[in-house]
Structures are given as structure tokens and as C-alpha cells.
Amino acid sequence: MNRFRLPFVAAALCLAITGCPMLTGSDKKPAQSGDARLLQLTVNGTVIAATATGYATTLPYQTANVLIMVSLPTGATALIGDVAGSTRTVPINVGDNPLTIVVIAENGTRLQHQLVVTRQPSSDASLTTLRVDGVAIPATAGEYALSVATGITAAAIVLTLPEGAAATIRGDTGSTYAATDLAVGPNEFAIVVTAQDGTTSGSYLLVVTRLPPPISGDSSIASLVVNDALVVPVVSAYEWSLGYDDASVEIVLTIAANASATIDGNAGTSVTLPLSRFAFGKPAGNAVTVVVTAEDGTTATNYTMTVADYRLSAPTGLSVAADPNAFALDVSWIPVDHAEGYVVYRGEEVAYEGTAPGFRDDDLAHGSTFEYRVAARNVLGNGPFSVTAPGTTVGDGSIVIIAN
């Protein structure tokens, strides 16, 4: 048997028994592709052309996300960043956003492709919000305005700005400002916002108006002082009694702010009146009229201060006469108008109290000299004393001394 014919016999036997398949040229497995090219790259639907350094595109600030799509050779896969697939949505920041795309060929060959997406900076120089003391202020044609009560002298200004923008308030850099010097009336704050791009800017004006105090209708008198003494009124009437120490009548008022006054016809809150202005007693002519007009110019209140003058004059014509027949001295003086009585001192002792303008001082030591002085008295008490007059007791004849 020829040994070289055995394979053919075996093959024939296989076909006869089991129907073994025969291998043909078309049954050979083809070689896997090593193509790792990036056939096409689109960003947000726009095809990006390759350059010597990779792929690059620039997008406006308003674009916050990009959809990246890649076209690949047959059998290839891709990694966009670290995510497998041929599409991916990626958020982007202002500036350059580099991204590596890896194409993996059918046979495992890898090829990196670089994509740089540049997001332009914002040109928004607007004011998102402006708050004063926590309250949002609306804008009218780029101007912000509000009014505050007269008692408010400070305000906290806070700005909310677009992304990346900067601001100055009255020249101070920052988005907050503490105003501590609000004056009555309008207070202006110039605000400049510079956009993220560093060139675009917007100018704004904040006007904080501090209102003036309300116009007062207060026409009251807070205090009335006469000759440094506070006078307490009964309802709206005041009364002052002249004393012996008063050289004049000085009246000083305290009234509401921005109110005005006249005192006895004199404009102002203080006046000095001479004593000759007042008659004895409390006649109607002694009344001093005070008119206080409120800040509003229409509300006015009249007040009356009655000045009582019960001052007495010092007695004059004091005489002391000795009685030659007794150890006594007769003391007399000219009556004082409006006096209700008199007091006479002999030295430092009271020798007489009564209503008559004279008396006899008896039972005195013979040949002794005594000094007398007299004062009139009334509701004010003792008035000023007369000059002193001496007298000497005698047994015969008399001595009369008159003190003027």
C-alpha cells in the first residue's frame, strides 16, 4: 500500500461517514484594522477641522455646555475624556477647556487627539441687584433711588454682579460699601461695573435721599427762666415777683427747634427788661406777653408772664429826739408808700414793730447814745433799711438828729 495516499483515503472516509466540511480560501479570518484616526469631530453640530496641534474652537460666553461627537473608522471605539463613547456633553468654563480624545483601533492601537474649547469671557457689565440695608432697589434708566427717614445717617450698599465682573462704589473697589455720612437731602453714589472681559463697563448712579425732619407744629415752651431761676407755669400762665436783688428782668426761653418767639414785642428767645417797665403791685400793665410760633409758621401760642413788683423804698427822714423830762427818745420817719408796717432796730436789737411811722423808745439809760435804723415791710418781708440815725438821752433840753 502506498503510504502517500492515506490522507486522501482518510478524507474520503470522513466524507462518507460524517460529512466533514472542507476549508476553502474564503473561510480564512481577515486581519484586524489598526486605523485609529479621528474621521470627523463636531462641537455643538459644527465640524472642527484638525490643525497641526489638534482641534480648537472658540465659543461665546453664553455657551456653558458643548456636545462633542466623533466619527470613527469601522471597528474603532473612543474615549472622550474618561468617558467611552462617540458622543458626550461636557460643561465648559470661561477660558481654555482642554480635552483628550483617544481613538482605539480595532486591533487595540490607540491614538490621542487634543481638543481645546475656549469659552470667551462675559461682556455683561450690568447690575444684577442693588440692595440698600437689605432692600432691593429697582432701577430706572440706570439710576437707583430711595428715600430714608431723617434719623438714618448710615446705609449698607451691597451689589450682586454678573460672573467675573468687578465694581467700584464711589471709587472704592468692591461690591459692598458702608455709607456713614448721609446728609439731609440727596446723597449720590457713583457705581462702575467692569465686565469679566476687562473692557466692557457700565456706569450707574444710586441716590439716597435723607428726608428733612418733619415740619413741626410745636409752639410750646420747654422752659422759661427769669434771672437764672426756672419759672413753673400754671397752665400757660407764668408769674414772677421782683426781689430786692433784681437789677432787671432777664427772660430766657427754651422752645422747639426752628420755632420762633417774641417776648414783650422783642423778637428772640431772650430779652432783658428794665425795672422801670413795671409798676408797683400786679397791675395788668405788668404782664409780659410771649408768643411762640411753630416751625410750620402758622401754629402760634400766646403765653402771659405777670410780673409782681412789691418792692418797698428805704424809709427817709429818720429822726431821733430826746425827751428832756424822761429817759426816752422819740423816733420817727416819713411814711413809705405801700408799706404794711415797719421794723426799727436799736443797734442789733428790735426796738419797734408796728404800722405807725414813729414810736417812743423809753426807759433808756441817762446820757447814753443809741443808733436807730428802720425798714418798711409788706408781703415781701422787710425792705431796705434807712441810713442809721443816733440819739442821746438827756435830763434837760433835747437833741434832734434827722437822717436823710
| Nearest Cα residue to 148 out of 210, 190, 58 | 210
Confidence check: pLDDT of 19 > 60: no
Q: Which residues have C-beta within 8 Å of that of residue 19, sequence separation ≥ 6?
A: none
The mean pLDDT of 50-71, rounded to a whole number, is 95
Instruction: Walk me through the domains of the chain, giving residue ranges and CATH numbers.
Output: 40-119 (2.60.40), 129-210 (2.60.40.2340), 221-308 (2.60.40.2340), 318-403 (2.60.40.10)
pLDDT of amino acid 219: 95
User: HSE (CB half, 13 Å, CA atoms) of 259?
Assistant: 23
Helices (H) and strands (E) in the chain, counts: 1, 38
CA 204 → CA 134, 167, 255, 390, distances in Å? Answer: 19, 10, 44, 96
CA distance 264 to 306: 11
Greatest Cα pair distance, the chain, in angstroms, is 216
Summarised one tens digit per residue, pLDDT across range 349-360 is 999 999 999 999
pLDDT of amino acid 237: 86
pLDDT of amino acid 315: 97
Per DSSP, the residues of 221-289 read EEEEEETTEE---BTTEEEEE--TT-SEEEEEEEE-TT-EEEETTEESSEEEEEGGG--SB--GGGEEE
CA distance 201 to 124: 8
Residues β-bridged to residue 188: 207
| Nearest Cα residue to 400 out of 336, 334, 317, 342 | 317
Summarised one tens digit per residue, pLDDT across range 62-117 is 999 999 999 999 999 999 999 999 999 999 999 999 999 999 999 999 999 999 99
The mean pLDDT of 373-391, rounded to a whole number, is 96
Could you give the 3-state DSSP secondary structure of residue 72? coil
Summarised one tens digit per residue, pLDDT across range 248-272 is 999 999 999 999 999 999 999 999 9
pTM, 2 dp: 0.53
Q: How confident is the model at residue 4 (pLDDT cuts 50, 70, 90)?
A: very low
CA 381 → CA 145, 340, 359, distances in Å? Answer: 70, 10, 20
Q: What cell was used for 107?
A: 486591533
The mean pLDDT of 235-249, rounded to a whole number, is 90
Q: Which helix (H) or strand (E) holds 383?
A: strand 381-385
Contact at 8 Å (CB) between 236 and 290? no
Q: Which residues have C-beta within 8 Å of that of residue 329, sequence separation ≥ 6?
A: 320, 321, 322, 323, 360, 361, 362, 364, 370, 372, 391, 393
